[in-house]
């Protein structure tokens, strides 16, 4: 089954404690990205990757890092989480660029930073 | 830059009512347009899409027509069900830019029996 898998789905952590949210897709997609969803703001892109070892900033990259060492994985790293990073995070992937490519989303990761 | 504006919710309808959720967009190129749906506690699912002007996307009784002249992609359904209660996101994709998918803020729909 084609899917995007994120872990953990739910996490409560403390300010400053480094954490990683993993994302894996089994569709051999080149393009992957991370979004955060906040009430009244919709989804905003954090980082994206067009292929292995190619990453770039989205609209709200501050406080986050990513890496793309393998095609299937695209982890999101919060080096020193702060309460304003409490949000619902989605990983997404698609076959590639170009109009009409369907983007597939993971089920989301609820992160609370206290 | 590219942007999507959709009507603010929440929208509350009775079962079998007609649904319209307005969506307009701003884009420099010729984007593809999408509607995504998020059911409670779940991730986003693609509901329908249209890749060029005058295309109509449809799925599960929902429809939306890509109107280039009015830069709109309004979502419609003739008879909603309780199971349609969800948050609906309009989005555009213009892969010539750096951000391939731009979302609206979402519209929460509640359908009551």
pLDDT confidence of residue B97: 46
**CB-based contact B36:B44 (threshold 8 Å):** yes
Per-state percent for chain A, helix, strand, coil, to nearest 5: 5, 50, 45
pLDDT confidence of residue A55: 94
pLDDT confidence of residue B71: 95
DSSP symbols for A67-94: --SSSSB--EEESS--GGG-EEEEEEEE
> What residue in A sits closest to B29 (Cα-Cα)?
A99
pLDDT at B96 over 70: no
Smallest CA–CA distance, residue B89 to chain A, in Å, is 8
**Structure confidence by residue, pLDDT tens digits, A26-78:** 999 998 999 999 988 888 999 999 889 999 998 899 999 999 999 999 999 99
Contact A48 B44 (CB under 8 A): no
Backbone angles phi, psi at A101, to 5 degrees: -70, 125
Q: What is the DSSP letter of B7?
A: -
Smallest CA–CA distance, residue B97 to chain A, in Å, is 10
**Structure confidence by residue, pLDDT tens digits, B13-60:** 999 999 999 999 998 878 889 999 999 888 888 899 998 899 999 999
CA distance A6 to A12: 16
Smallest CA–CA distance, residue A84 to chain B, in Å, is 19
pLDDT confidence of residue A97: 60
Percent of chain B with pLDDT over 70: 95
User: In what side-by-side order are the strands of the sheet with B56-59?
Assistant: B19-21, B75-77, B62-65, B56-59
pLDDT at B98 over 70: no
Contact A99 B94 (CB under 8 A): yes
Q: What is the mean pLDDT of chain A?
A: 92
- Tokens representing residue A83 in the block: 């309460």
CA distance A93 to A103: 6
Residue of A44, A90, A100 with shortest CB distance to B32: A100
Percent of chain A with pLDDT over 70: 96
**CB-based contact B47:B88 (threshold 8 Å):** yes
pLDDT at A99 over 80: no
Q: Quick one: CA dihedral A65, A69, A71, A73, positive or negative?
A: negative
Q: Among residues B82, B94, B70, B86, which one has the least CA distance to residue B36?
A: B86
- What CA dihedral angle connects B71, A31, A27 and A3, to 10 degrees? -70
- Averaged pLDDT, B87-93: 92
**Structure confidence by residue, pLDDT tens digits, B72-88:** 999 999 999 999 999 99
């Amino acid at each position: 089954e084609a899917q995007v898998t994120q872990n953990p789905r739910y996490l409560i952590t403390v300010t400053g404690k480094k954490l990683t949210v993993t994302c894996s897709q089994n569709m051999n997609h080149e393009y992957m990205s991370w979004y955060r969803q906040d009430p009244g703001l919709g989804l905003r892109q954090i980082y994206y990757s067009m292929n292995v070892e190619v990453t770039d900033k989205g609209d709200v990259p501050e406080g986050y890092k990513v890496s793309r060492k393998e095609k299937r994985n695209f982890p999101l790293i919060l080096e020193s989480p702060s309460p304003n990073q409490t949000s619902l995070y989605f990983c997404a992937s698609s076959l590639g660029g170009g109009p009409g490519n369907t983007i597939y989303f993971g089920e989301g990761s609820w992160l609370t930073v206290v | 830059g590219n942007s999507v504006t959709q009507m603010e919710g929440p929208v509350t309808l009775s079962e079998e009512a007609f649904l319209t959720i307005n969506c307009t967009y701003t884009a420099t190129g010729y984007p593809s347009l999408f509607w995504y749906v998020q059911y409670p506690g779940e991730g986003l699912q693609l509901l329908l899409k249209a890749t060029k002007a005058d295309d109509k996307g449809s799925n599960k009784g929902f429809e939306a027509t890509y109107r280039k002249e009015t830069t709109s992609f309004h979502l419609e359904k003739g008879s909603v069900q309780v199971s349609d209660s969800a948050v609906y996101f309009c989005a555009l994709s213009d892969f010539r830019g750096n951000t391939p998918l731009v979302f609206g803020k979402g519209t929460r729909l509640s359908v009551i029996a």
